[in-house]
Amino acid sequence: MADAGEVVFDALADSTRRSVLRAVAEDGPLTATELAQRLPVTRQAVAKHLDVLADAGLVQKERAGRDVRYTLDAAPLGDALAWLAGVGARWDRRLATLERRLRASTPAASD
């Protein structure tokens, strides 16, 4: 997996970051203050989580006067999904090969 993918999975590993990302995706653009009002964490904690999400490319910052608003950037999620699909496809092929080998090596049941 590429480093960018690792950063996305690391960012999504934390349940609070997933909650922040979900809120931004559903109701964004939102500020850190608005997000903190929805979550059981401080504004400072939300800001740190947003920084991790921004570093992973999952949210974009936009300054609006004194506020910084965050919006979802779903492109890195597509990259992560493509990586997962590739891993799944490789396992599907391995399991299909294993099944064929097992069927070939098992004598047919006699009636």
Q: Which domain holds residue 28?
A: 3-75
Domain count for the chain: 1
Query: Using CA atoms, how far apart are residues 12 and 15, in angstroms rounded to an integer?
Result: 7
The pLDDT tens digits for 27-83 are 989 999 999 999 999 999 999 999 999 999 999 999 989 999 999 999 888 887 787
Grade residue 1 by pLDDT with cuts at 50, 70 and 90: very low
Q: What is the CATH number of the domain that holds 39?
A: 1.10.10.10
What is the CA angle 71-72-73, rounded to 5? 120
Element holding 106 (H helix, E strand): none
Residue 106 lies in a domain: no
